[in-house]
Amino acid sequence: MLLYIFSSQGYVIFGDSTSTLYNGQYNYPAPYGNWYTRSRHQILILSSEIQSKGISTGSKIYSLGFFVVQTNNIALKPCTLKIKEVNYNQIGNSFDNNGLTTIVGYSSCPPLTNNNWTEYTFPTPWTYNGQNLLIDFFYGSPINYDYTYNASTTYTIYNDTLCGYNYADAGAIPNDSIYRTNKRPNIRILTDIQSSNEEKNNSNFRIKLLRNQLIISFDKKLNYLLEIYTPNGNVVNEKKSFDNEYKINLKRGVYILKLEFENQRIYKTFVIY
């Protein structure tokens, strides 16, 4: 039997994941900006960054979020996430309003929590076409002068201007002007990542396919939640904790592996021929 992992889902962070830089409750860029009534941000992720993370043309993007350090007791307001792919490498002097695809929209943004990632799941996954990715995020109240504070989210400083924003207390946010900055909010996406028959995901565990056997080995004993199920949702195996290595024999077919541990969630899709 030939075994081959044809798809691997995992979280990828764009920006310094250890960054201690974040905006204050009155400062921008701030994706959750409500010090002025409404705010809009456009954030550019370069194709070179995307591809360096193992994301190839045709990969799917399933969710996107920002890391909130402090909510600052921000009031929950409507928010909208839009995406498009572009060929320019820096944010221009005005918002790019052409060809944006609305991914998700909420009449009230899902609750924010301190020191945690937000996550907006795409009802329809975005198929990556190989260009730079432009993320357009709106947050704010439709009621004029309905303001509170900005939530604090982490950011990374770059040499180029990869973020632009504007805000307003009354009326629409101006589309003909934008504040450009080299401070780009850190972003996490859930996406397809290139993989192979044997993969070391991080310092904690390895996944290997050998003949008709799936082998998961761990550097240390922890509490895990492991599920293996078929694409139609039938659970083949479930285990909540085990020692440094776990093996399971599988029949021919397509399987999805879900592994949760230490606030991480990993998905792997594989096929046994």
**Which of the four pLDDT bands, split at 50, 70 and 90, describes residue 217?**
confident
Confidence of residue 227 (pLDDT cuts 50, 70, 90): confident
Could you tell me the two tokens for 39? Answer: 């705010």
What per-residue confidence (pLDDT) applies to 224? 76
How much is the pLDDT for 245? 79
Q: Is 22 helix (H, G, I), strand (E, B) or coil?
A: strand
Q: In terms of Cα–Cα distance, which of 152, 77, 150, 151 is closest to 109?
A: 77
Q: Is the pLDDT of residue 19 over 60?
A: yes
Residue range 222-249: mean pLDDT, rounded: 76
pLDDT tops 90 at residue 3:
no
- Compute the average pLDDT of residues 15-24: 92
- Per-residue pLDDT, 5: 45
Mean pLDDT of 195-215: 63
For residue 213, the model assigns a pLDDT of: 80
pLDDT at 263 over 60: yes
| pLDDT one-digit tens code per residue, 84-125 | 999 999 999 999 999 999 999 999 999 999 999 998 989 899
pLDDT digits (tens, 9 = 90+) for 42-73: 999 999 999 888 788 888 898 999 999 999 99
Phi-psi category of 168—alpha, beta or left, where left has phi over 0 and alpha has psi -120 to 50?
beta
92 φψ region: left (φ > 0), alpha (ψ -120 to 50), beta (else)? beta
Give the DSSP H/E element, type plus range, for residue 48. Answer: helix 47-52
Per-residue confidence band for 234, with pLDDT thresholds at 50, 70 and 90: confident
Q: What is the pLDDT of residue 87?
A: 97
Residue with tokens 């005005």: 94
CB atoms within 10 A of CB 231: 10
User: What pLDDT is recorded for position 117?
Assistant: 93
Residue 49 DSSP SS3: helix
Whole-number Å distance between alpha carbons of 257 and 8: 9
Share of the chain above pLDDT 90, in %: 54
Q: Are 30 and 151 in contact (CB under 8 A)?
A: yes
CB contact at 8 A, 170 and 43: no
Can you say whether residue 85 is alpha, beta or left, with left for phi > 0 and alpha for psi between -120 and 50 degrees? Answer: beta
Q: What is the mean pLDDT of the chain?
A: 86
Q: What is the mean pLDDT of residues 117-141?
A: 94
* pLDDT score, position 242: 59
Residue with tokens 């969710």: 63
Contact 86, 157 (CB under 8 A): no
Residue 26: DSSP 8-state? T
Nearest alpha-carbon partner for 135 in 41, 230, 8, 70 = 41
Per-residue pLDDT for 146 more than 70? Answer: yes
**Is residue 198 over pLDDT 70?**
no
Is the confidence at residue 197, as pLDDT, over 50? no
* Structure-token match 């705010």, residue found: 39
Which residue is listed with tokens 């799936």?
214
More confident residue, 268 or 183: 183
